[in-house]
Amino acid sequence: MATALHNLSDYDAERVPSAEGMRFGIVVSEWNNEITGALAQGAFDTLIKNGAREQDIEMLTVPGSFELVYGAARMVQTERFDAVIAIGCVIRGDTPHFDYICQGATQGLAELNREARVPVIYGLLTCNDMEQAEMRSGGMLGNKGDECAVTAIKMVDFSRRLIKN
């Protein structure tokens, strides 16, 4: 569903498992930090709202969105987390740099998600302009960080259910 048709912060709380006892790593890009900071705060607040304890959430920063792959991979390797959320924001400019960063980060995070022992959640905004980014980081389209946190909780629950069966 296109984001324009769905508020990123809307979710059915009844369908979200409790995050109690779950541990989360959040790696956040410093680039476009007014956006990524709001996304990270949204993720943190949603994890807490759904039962995670503050001490079970670790948030670290990397310089840019390309570095999210390295940061997420290192968080996974620590084996301290049940899920890792990667948060970044790339805004299109006048050069093809946007395409390279978005493609590299997306492919890297997808590969890591496929290979990692824990889910790696994709929280990279790829926007044409700052207005789009603002609308998705707490503006009228909600906060992608909220959506990432809910996804992380559901994926940890999914993984745990597989182990039990």
Cα separation, 68 vs 27, whole angstroms: 7
Cα separation, 73 vs 66, whole angstroms: 12
Residues acting as catalytic residues: 97
Give pLDDT, residue 128. Answer: 96
pLDDT tens-digit map of 1-34: 455 667 878 888 889 999 999 999 999 999 999 9
Segment 76-102 shows an average pLDDT of 95
For 86, other C-beta atoms within 10 Å of its C-beta total 29
pLDDT tens-digit map of 44-72: 999 999 999 999 999 999 999 999 999 99
Beta-carbon-side half-sphere exposure of residue 148 (alpha carbons within 13 Å): 31
Give pLDDT, residue 72. Answer: 98
Q: Which residues pair with 93 in a beta bridge?
A: none
Beta-carbon-side half-sphere exposure of residue 139 (alpha carbons within 13 Å): 12
**Helix, strand or coil for residue 108?**
helix
Which domains are assigned to the chain? 20-164 (3.40.50.960)
Cα separation, 89 vs 48, whole angstroms: 23
* Stated pTM of the model: 0.94
Q: Which residues pair with 60 in a beta bridge?
A: 27
